[in-house]
Structure 1
Amino acid sequence: MLLFALLPLSVWAAPKLTQESVFVGQVYQKELDSEATVSGQSGAALPNWLIFRNNILQGIPTENDIGTHLVEVKSASGSDFHTLKFVVKEDTENPCGTEDTFWLEAIYSNDEGTQMRLDAAIEIGQFQPLETLRVYSANYSRKFRNVELVMADAEDPKFAVIWKVACNDVDAATDAMDAFITEDEVDYEQIVLTKGRVIPGTSKIEATTVVSTTTKRTTRGLYGNDARPVRLNPMPTYKCTKGQLCEMLIPEDIFRDQEDGSTFNLRLSISSLDSNAKQYFALGDRNITGISMKSGEFNFRLEARDKNDQMVTAPFTINVYISPKTNHLVDLEMDKPIKEFESDPLESARFIKRLSDALGAPPSTFTIREIKQGVNPNKSVVTWSNNSLTAERCNEDAIMELKNRMVTKQKERTKTEFIKAIGPQFYVRKASTRLTGNCLKESEMETTQIVPVASEPSSAGIGNTNWMLVLIILGCLLLLICLILIICSIRGKGKKKIPSEYMTKGSPVVFPEEVDEDNGDHAGTPMLTREERPPLKVSTTENPLYKPPPPLTAASPRIPAGSAHISAAQKMPPPYVPP
């Protein structure tokens, strides 16, 4: 009995109730069983903002759906039955709190209902988290937010998919906008960048107040009635070659400003989006000009500002392909600091134009291969080649003709007319050419043919040659020793013997007391002094023939020191008779 009493309670138990909150514009998705059936309350149709496809209950509520909605979900057997209670409300919290929020808005000019809005949100959800997206009608997106346009404006929009990209950071916002624009898989009409805050406490009545979409909306910028410039069309993709002058025209219909006019009435500039890439391009006269010394894909952004410095951007890409092959190189050493080439992207373009004027050829004829510093930072060397000379074969006559237009034939000095044609801005000190590629190979082959190739000697021949070389060296040494001995012997015989005797040997010696002081005839006669004293210092170098006199004997008569004259009775010595 108890079992039968409980059975009706299990069969007629109240269905399960699940409450879920959904914000206006939020993408809602819930996967159900494959055989489940979904309907509105008491089997009615689903609310307008919900659809059931691929076993997924999904939808996007609008501002007209604020309130409560009941959805019944039943299993195929009917045993599982529950009710989903949706509470749709406005999202009144500012994403960036007390700071201004930057939103990106993908604008669509056609609105075919919930399914189209879902498809648009899911498509953008490939690049942005789906839960961060909001899909609003054009009128409501301006009702619950107090925003101003930062970039671009839309003509007659129907709905927009919006998401936050930055908080009070315009640079980060514009970078996010440029990155999203490069995605080609998203099919939207236009992209808009807005800045502002959510208005708290927006009511349903205010939200459902409809403004006719046929009325053209005028948006004010930061400077009163001065509207911001808008981007009308995307920039094209450009193709260039490494080392060659590239001039890319800017279409006139890229931007439009209500007060200032078309693109070229605005202040234009470009900036690189690749942080690790050097910028080789700059704005020229209605074009983008430069010479890239690297190959690859480079991303840039063209910026346009009006007189009040309100900006709009358009990203673009430059694909730089590798340089063609060459078989010659020309080096120009110039009095120009290398930093001028590095700081100004247009400087290399000016050089190519001056070179083309000097040689009378179009700028596309030349390819810069390298720009490097010279002997000091105030000098630079530019290496280039001529594209009109084919690299398939070596045409040395054409290369020599090119060289002769720059340097003289005899002393290979840089021609004055070539220096003047290049101009003082790129004053050329020296011009020289080099062969490379197939020209270098042919030159090596010719050199190899001119030089005779000697046969390789055998090992026995090498041994005999070494022994002969040793014998020749020994013979030369013996001959040299013999010559030295002969010369020394000849010089020894020719020397004269230095006499070791006195020069006055055999002459009579006169003593002092035997000399008459009044008679001067004895001046040339050797005699002894009154007081014989040895010299203080005997030097053989002054007079090698000098020898001191022998000592006086005791038998020698001496005259007293006080006597001044010799007595007359003194006997004179006998005359000297030589032996």
Structure 2
Amino acid sequence: MSPPGQPNTSPTVVNPIQLITATVGHRLHFPIHPDTFYDQEDGSSTHLTLAIKSVNEYPSGSESWLQFNLTHQILYGYPLELDFQYSPQEFILRATDSGGLAAQMLFTIELKLPRSTPCHTYTLRTKNSFYSFIKKREKISLFFAKLTDYLNSSSPEQIVLTTLRPGSTIISWYNRTLCEVNGSSLKRCPNRKIQEVMFKLRRPDGNVHPNFAYAMSPEYKIGTIENITYGGICLILEPDNGSLIENSILASSNIENTHWIRNLILALLVSMCILIVAIAASVAYHFYRNYKTFLIPQSLVFQGRTLISNSDQEMYVLRPRNPPILECEVPPSPGLWRRTPLSSQHQPYRENVTSATDTRVVNLPAFKTSTPIP
């Protein structure tokens, strides 16, 4: 403040802000340097009142992704994909002294899309509306500030936002320190540390951890915690024992439960297959028995030809038979030697042919009994 009787001078820009680069999903943290403005009466920028304003028709105020902390004079915020359409954005930084005089400067922020692939992604669903996050961007920064405190992370800059979409609000993020060191990707996936964070967010039964729900209240109501999504170097996990575990897309937070369920399903499938085979074999055997019962063991006539079944042939072969009698050995019946001649009236016409069946009567001489010699 100027002494009495001396005119008040306006602040001046000493060190203008150069181009600022921000990445979508990454938290911007840019403190205003004390020597950016200077006022003869009040001094450096720390003793001046600073404010920012968006140029043109960009979202401004509470709807702008870029927020300004008046107390600490820091520019911060999480740019989203929907903000990329306005890049590069121009802002006005205004400094006002105690006498009401002001100076302003124009600076530009350019947004870039992320290039690195996260090695893991945590996803949760809140019961807060998506509209509340868009209309008041401060809620995004506050969400990750509380999340950082709960996970005991050193800085909110470690948390990278990957998704913010409706439903009610789905938020996805990953911890940058678990995927890279000094900007370079790790050679080994820190699966154990990733799982330790998951255990703080969700219980093994799938419910939200009560400590996490309490830490995020009352501003945020956590609904569900989804499985971890792996990517990058963590598509193939390498635990401490050196064995490789392939993770195609998702990995459950409770690996033991997953293996138990998988083994149970496999055992049920094997049991069902064995049961189906047994039933099929039983039905086939029963059908075969019935089919043999209904076979008719007798001669069949097919297209005028007699077909004898195998069983009849066997029984015919085994059937006892009388010894054959030759025709010449059979003595003729006594009644056949004599026939009453037919009258000439009833005799049919017959050719005079001598045959083996001649019916002439043959008188045999009578046998005389000899007298026994004394």
TM-score for the superposition, normalised by structure 2: 0.52
Between 438-447 and 338-347, the greater mean CA deviation after superposition: 438-447
Distance 2:14 2:7 in 1: 20
Structure 1 position 359, deviation (Å): 0.7
Query: Hey, what does 1:382 align to over in structure 2?
Result: 171
Counterpart selection for 2:78 from 291, 296, 309: 291
Q: In structure 2, do the counterparts of structure 1 residues 433 and 444 end up closer, same or farther at CA, with 3 Å as the change threshold? A: closer
Q: Is the 8 A contact 1:245 1:289 kept in 2?
A: yes
> Could you tell me whether the CA contact under 8 Å between 2:230 and 2:250 is conserved in 1?
no
Q: Quick one: distance in 1 between partners of 2:129 and 2:121?
A: 22
Letter in 2 for 1:417: N
Are residues 1:281 and 2:73 paired? no
Amino acid at match of 2:162: R
Shift of 1:277: 6.7
8 Å Cα contact 2:25/2:79 also seen in 1: yes
In 2, are the aligned partners of 1:332 and 1:432 still within 8 Å (CA)? yes
CA gap of 1:372–1:365, structure 2 versus 1, over 3 A, is: same
Aligned to 1:443: 247
Correspondence 1:274-423 to 2 at 5 A: 275-276=57-58, 279-284=64-69, 285-294=72-81, 297-307=88-98, 309-323=100-114, 324-362=116-154, 363-375=156-168, 380-390=169-179, 394-409=189-204, 411-423=205-217
Distance change (3 Å), C-alpha of 1:403 and 1:264: same
Supply the distance in 1 between the matched residues of 2:130 and 2:140 (Cα, whole angstroms): 11
Query: 1:425 aligns to what SS in structure 2?
Result: coil
**Aligned with residue 24 of structure 2, among 236, 242, 248:** 242
CA separation in 2, counterparts of 1:364 and 1:254?
A: 24
Q: Does 1:431 align with 2:218?
A: no
SS of the residue 1:424 aligns to: coil
Displacement after TM superposition at 1:444 (Å):
3.6
Q: Do the aligned residues in 1 keep the contact of 2:229 with 2:250 (CA within 8 Å)?
A: no
Whole-angstrom CA distance in 1 between matches of 2:190 and 2:11: 56
* SS of the residue 1:430 aligns to: strand
Task: For 1:405 and 1:289, locate their aligned partners in 2 and report how far apart those are by CA, in whole Å.
Answer: 27
Q: How big is the shift at 1:446?
A: 11
How does 1:161-172 map onto structure 2 within 5 Å? none
Post-superposition shift, 1:413?
0.7
| Alpha-carbon distance between aligned partners in 2 of 1:401 and 1:431, rounded to the nearest angstrom | 14
Deviation by residue 1:237-270 (Cα, 9 ceiling, x = unmatched): 3343321222111111222334444323332111
Q: 1:226 to 1:337 in 2, by over 3 A?
A: farther
* Structure 2 counterpart of 1:269, one-letter code: A
Aligned positions of 1:499-510 closer than 5 A: none
Give the aligned residue type for 1:435: T
Tell me how far 1:345 sits from its aligned partner: 3.3
Residue pairs, 1:191-270, within 5 angstroms: 225-270=7-52
2:35–2:45 contact (8 Å) kept in structure 1: yes
Deviations 1:33-54 (A, max 9, x none): xxxxxxxxxxxxxxxxxxxxxx
Q: Normalising by structure 1, what TM-score?
A: 0.35
Change (3 A) 1:297 1:262: same
Q: CA deviation at 1:236?
A: 3.6
Report deviation, 1:383. 1.2
CA offset digits 1:366-397 (Å, max 9, x no partner): 1011222224xxxx221111212226655544
**Offset of residue 276 of structure 1:** 5.0
* RMSD of aligned alpha carbons: 3.8
Highest relative contact order (Cα 8 Å, sep 6+), 1 or 2? 2
Report the 3-state secondary structure (helix = DSSP H, G, I; strand = E; otherwise coil) of the residue aligned with 1:304.
strand
Task: Report the residue type matching 2:68 in the other structure.
Answer: L
Superposed CA offset, 1:465-515 (max 9, x none): xxxxxxx9xx9xxxxxxxxxxxxxxxxxxxxxxxxxxxxxxxxxxxxxxxx
Distance 1:386 1:232 in 2: 38
In the alignment of these two chains, the number of paired residues is 227
**Contact 2:121/2:174, CA 8 A, preserved across alignment:** yes
AA aligned to 2:199 is N
**C-alpha contact 1:289 1:346 (8 A) present in aligned 2:** no
CA distance in 1 between partners of 2:172 and 2:37 (Å): 40
Give the superposition deviation at 1:274.
Answer: 5.8
With 251-260 and 271-280 compared, the bigger mean Cα shift is at 271-280
Identity of aligned residues (%): 22
Q: Which residue of 1 aligns with 2:347?
A: none
Q: Which amino acid aligns with 2:141?
A: A
Contact 2:118 2:174 in 1 (8 A): yes
Summarize the Cα distance change of 1:259–1:344 in structure 2 as closer, same or farther, 3 Å threshold: farther
Which secondary structure state, in structure 1, belongs to the residue aligned with residue 203 of structure 2? coil
Higher normalized helix content (fraction of residues): 2
User: Gaps (5+ residues) in structure 1?
Assistant: 1-223, 453-471, 476-579
**AA aligned opposite 1:381:** I
Query: Secondary structure of the equivalent of 1:302?
Result: strand
> Quick one: which amino acid aligns to residue 401 of structure 1?
E
Distance 2:36 2:199 in 1: 48
> Do the aligned partners of residues 305 and 354 (structure 1) sit closer, same or farther apart at CA in structure 2, a change above 3 Å counting?
same
* Shift in CA distance, 401/446, structure 1 to aligned 2, threshold 3 Å: closer
Deviation at 1:325, TM superposition (A): 1.3
**TM superposition shift of 1:316:** 1.9
| Map of 1:141 onto structure 2 | none
Inter-CA distance 234–336: structure 2 relative to 1 (3 Å threshold): same
Work out whether residues 328 and 433 of structure 1, in 8 Å CA contact, stay in contact via their aligned partners in 2. no
CA distance in 1, matches of 2:57, 2:203: 46
